[in-house]
Amino acid sequence: MVETTEAQPSIGRLVVIGIGLIGGSLALALRAAGACREVIGVARRQKTCEQAVALGIVDRAVTGLGEVLPELESGDVIFVAVPTLAVEQVFADLRDKLPAGVTVTDGASVKGSVIAAAEKVWGRVPEFLVPGHPIAGSEKSGVTAARDDLYIAHRIIVTPVEDTDAGHLQRVVQMWQATGAEVLNMPVREHDEVLAATSHLPHVIAFGLVDTLAHDAENENIFRYAAGGFRDFTRIASSDPVMWRDIMLANRDAILKSIDLYSANLDSLRAAIATGDSDRLMGVFTRAKAARDHFTKMLAKKAYTEPMQAQEVTFIAQPGESVSGELRVPGDKSMSHRSIMLGSLAEGVTEIEGFLQGEDALATLQAFRDMGVVIEGPVDGRVTVHGVGLHGLQAPPGPLYVGNSGTAMRLFAGLLAGQAFDVTLTGDESLSKRPMNRVADPLREMGAEIETGPEGRPPLMIKGGARLHGIDYKLPMASAQVKSCVLLAGLYADGETSSTEPAPTRDHTERMLTGFGYEVQRDGARATLCGGGRLAGGRIDVPADISSATFFMVAAAIAPGSDLLLEHVGVNPTRDGAINILRLMGADIELLNRREVGGEPVADIRVRHAPLKGIRIPEEQVPLAIDEFPALFVAAACAEGETVLTGAEELRVKESDRIRAMADGLEVLGVDAEPTPDGIVIRGAGEGPAFGGGTVDSLGDHRIAMAFAVASLRARDTIRILHCANVATSFPNFAELANRAGLKLQEV
C-alpha cells in the first residue's frame, strides 16, 4: 500500500485515459494515497470500464472522453496512458474542449513524438501539457495488471519544454511523488536517446531473439530445454506488441542509432569468436559484468559513476569490554591501487592476491577497465590483470570517477599526463575539496597540460599528447602521493625523473616498480627513474593494511583484558609509525613471524592491553603514521597525561580536516583536546572510562568513523557516529570484524 503524509489531496480529479498497467496503477496509487478527490477512467471498451470499477481502480469509468470533459475544472489532471501513436488522437479530442486550468500529462515512452503530436494539434506545445514518462512497468499489460505499488521507489521522468507552465509542472510532480516515485527532469531529446539505449533496444533484441528461435525447425526442443538465462533475457518479449510497435515507430532515429552501435559490437564479438580472440572476449565480458554489477551506477555510461543516492550509515557503539581473537583485516589500500595501476601498464598478466575490495581500490580497477584493460575479478581478493603495456591504454568513454580517493586521483594524474588522449578525473564531494596543485604543479613542470577546478581542486582535466621531460623535483611536503605521481609521469618522460622527499614516506611505488622489473635508483631521500622502459607483469601478494589494523591495535591497547592477533599485516618501515608511537606510549605490541612477501615486509601483530602514557609524538614518525592519527588520538585520550602532536598539518587536507573532526568529536565525548594549526594536544584519562557518550559526526571520513567506534571500548555510554558509509572505501567489513573481536557495534 502507498502511504502518504499528505493531509490534503494534491490534485482535484484524476482522469485516466487508457486503463491498463500504467494508467490503472497510477489510479490505484493515488486512490490509496488519498491524493485526489475522484478518479475517472476512460476506456474504449465497456468491459474494461466495468472491470476497472469492479477492481476498485477507478471511482467510475466512461467510454467517451467527451462525457467527462465538461465536468472538469482547474486543478484536475488528465493522464494520457494510451499507446504512443494514439496520443495524437487523444489530443485532438481534447482540443477546444478542455476547461481552463486542467493539467494534461502522459506516460508515453517516447517524448519527441508527444511534442510533435501537440504541435500538430495545437500549433504549439500548450502550457498545460507536461510530458512525462514513468520508468516502471512489467511485461504484463491490461487493466488486471494494475498495482498500487508499481511506482514506489521508481523514477518518473518529466520533460517540460519552454512553454510548460510552472504551476502545471508542479502539480504533475506532486502527483507522482504521492505514488512514492522519484521525479526527475530531462530534456526531451536526451530522454529519447537514453530510453532508446536502455529500454527500446533491449526490447528489439528480446522480440528479435525469440522470433528467431521460434522460426527454427527445432523450436519445440529449444523452448523445452531453455533454462533460466533464456527466461531472464527474453521476459520482455511478452510485452504488449502494439505499444512496442508504436515506440519503435515514434523513436525511430534514436533507436536506429542504438541498433547500429549494438550491431557493430555484435559483429566484433562474432569476429572474436571466429578467430578465437580470447582477450577480446574477456574484455567485453569482464567490462559488461562490472557494468551490470554496478548497474545503477553505470547508467550515465561513466567509469564508476557517483552513487545515485549516497547511502546513509550510522554506527551505534555500546560500551564494550575487551577485544580478543585472531583477525585478518582487508588488503592494503595503497598497494591495491598500485597493483592495478602497474599491472595494467605492464606487459603480460599480473595475478594479484589479497586485493582490497573497498570502494577506493574498486574505483581504480573500474577506471582501468574503462580504459580498455581486461581485468578479471575481484573474487575473494584475487584479481587477474591483462596488462596492455605503457602505451596500450585507450581513451575512456567519459570522465574517470575515482570516488573518495586522493591516492587514485593523484597517481592517475601522473600516469595519465603522458597518454595520447584527453581525460578528466572527478571525485566525490570530499575529494572535490582536496588540493590538487601539489600534483598539477610538478606535472606542468614536466610539460603536461593540466587544468584544475577553482582553487586547484578537482576536477582535473588532462590534455593528451603532451611531451613530458624528466625533472628533479623537491617535494614541498612529505607526500607519497605526490612522489608517486611524479615517478609515474616519469615513466613517460624523456630522460631522468627524480623526486626528493623532505621526510621518508611510504615507498610502495618504488618497491612495486622494482618488482615489475623497472629500475628505480634510491639515494637517501631521492628516488630516480628513466622514462621509456617496460614493466613486466607478475604476481603480487597484498598484505593486510596496517592502517586498518591500527584500529584493532588501539582497541586492544586501550581495553583492559585484551589480547588480539592481527595476521599477515604489512609492516613496511615507511608505514610502521603507529606501532612505534603506540610502543612509545607503553603499548604491548609484538611482531611475530616476520617475513618478506613479494618485496614487502609482513608480520603477525600481537597486542595486549597495557596502561598507556601521554607522549610528545616525534615529528619524524608523522608521515609514517599519517593515516593512523584518528585512532592514535583515541589511544591518547585513554593514556595517562598529555599527548602532543606537532608537524601534522597534512591531516587538515585528508578526507576531512582530521584535526578538527577528531577535536570536535572528542569534545562531545568529554575529552580535553585542544587543536593547534599543525596538531593537537590531548589530556588523557588514564584508568577507567575515558569517554562519555553522545553523537559525533565523522563528516563522511572513514577513519574518523572507525576511530570513534573503537573509543566505545572505554566509553561510559553509547556513542552514535554519523555519516559512516565511507568506511566501505578502505574497510568494507569493519563492523563485522569489530563485533567478532568484541566491540558492540551496530550499523543502521
Ligand X SMILES: O=C(O)C1=C[C@@H](OP(=O)(O)O)[C@@H](O)[C@H](O)C1
- Determine, following the binding rule CB under 6 A, whether residue 506 of this chain makes contact with ligand X: yes
Minimum Å gap between C-beta 547 and ligand PEP is 6
Return contacts of 31-34, CB within 8 angstroms, 24+ apart: 31/56, 31/57, 31/59, 31/148, 32/1, 32/2, 32/148, 33/2, 33/3, 33/4, 33/6, 33/178, 33/179, 34/4, 34/6, 34/9
A 10 A CB-CB count for 163 gives: 12
Q: Does the annotation list 658 as a binding residue?
A: yes
- On the CB side of 162, CA atoms within 13 Å amount to 1
Determine contact, residues 600/354, Cβ cutoff 8 Å: no
Closest CA to 665 of 310, 315, 404: 315
Q: Does the annotation list 338 as a binding residue?
A: yes
Minimum Å gap between C-beta 456 and ligand X is 14
Run of H or E residues at 564: strand 563-570
Q: Does the annotation list 334 as a binding residue?
A: yes
With contacts defined by CB under 6 A, name the span among 72-80, 458-466, 478-486, 487-495 that binds ligand X: 478-486
Active-site position among 148, 576, 627, 701: 627
Minimum Å gap between C-beta 738 and ligand PEP is 18
Minimum Å gap between C-beta 403 and ligand PEP is 9
Q: Which does 643 bind (CB under 5 to 8 A by kind): ligand PEP, ligand X, none?
A: none
Q: Does the annotation list 627 as a binding residue?
A: yes
* Residue 426, CA distances (Å) to 6, 440, 457, 460, 481 in order: 39, 14, 10, 7, 17
Q: Does the annotation list 333 as a binding residue?
A: yes
CA distance 250 to 109: 9
Closest CA to 616 of 664, 685, 663, 681: 681
Q: Is 627 a catalytic residue?
A: yes
Run of H or E residues at 40: strand 36-42
Q: Which three cell numbers stand for residue 131?
A: 510530458
CA 660 to chain centre: 27
CA distance 25 to 489: 57
* Count of positions on this chain that bind ligand X (CB under 6 A): 11
With contacts defined by CB under 6 A, name the span among 388-396, 479-487, 521-529, 706-714 that binds ligand X: 479-487
CA distance 440 to 459: 11
With contacts defined by CB under 6 A, name the span among 218-226, 282-290, 347-355, 473-481 that binds ligand X: 473-481
630-659: which residues touch ligand X (CB under 6 A)?
650
Nearer of residues 409 and 666 to ligand PEP, judged by Cβ: 409
Interface residue list for ligand PEP (CB under 6 A): 333, 404-407, 627, 654-655, 703, 730
Q: Does the annotation list 18 as a binding residue?
A: no
Minimum Å gap between C-beta 655 and ligand PEP is 5
Q: Does the annotation list 239 as a binding residue?
A: no
Reading phi first (left if > 0) and then psi (alpha if -120 to 50, else beta), residue 736 is in: alpha
Q: Does the annotation list 479 as a binding residue?
A: yes
Judged by DSSP in three states, 516 sits in: coil
With contacts defined by CB under 6 A, name the span among 474-482, 496-504, 551-559, 715-723 that binds ligand X: 474-482
Beta-carbon contacts of 509 under 8 Å, excluding residues fewer than 6 positions away, are 338, 411, 480, 483, 484, 487, 488
353-412: which residues touch ligand X (CB under 6 A)?
406-407
- The residue nearest ligand PEP at its CB is 406
Nearer of residues 200 and 333 to ligand X, judged by Cβ: 333
Nearer of residues 32 and 512 to ligand X, judged by Cβ: 512
Q: Does the annotation list 481 as a binding residue?
A: yes
Judged by DSSP in three states, 361 sits in: helix
Minimum Å gap between C-beta 526 and ligand X is 17
Minimum Å gap between C-beta 527 and ligand X is 13
CA distance 80 to 19: 9
Nearer of residues 103 and 404 to ligand PEP, judged by Cβ: 404
Q: Which does 405 bind (CB under 5 to 8 A by kind): ligand PEP, ligand X, none?
A: ligand PEP
| 159, 384, 479, 497: which one binds ligand X (CB under 6 A) | 479
The angle at the Cα of 664, spanning 612 to 587, to the nearest 5 degrees, equals 15
Ranges assigned E (strand) in 59-141: 60-62, 77-80, 103-106, 129-130, 132-135
Annotated binding site for phosphoenolpyruvate: 333, 406, 434, 481, 658, 703
Annotated binding site: 333-334, 338, 406, 434, 479, 481, 627, 654, 658, 703
Query: What positions carry a catalytic annotation?
Result: 627
Annotated binding site for 3-phosphoshikimate: 333-334, 338, 479, 481, 627, 654
Binding site for ligand X (CB under 6 A): 334, 406-407, 479-481, 484, 506, 626-627, 650
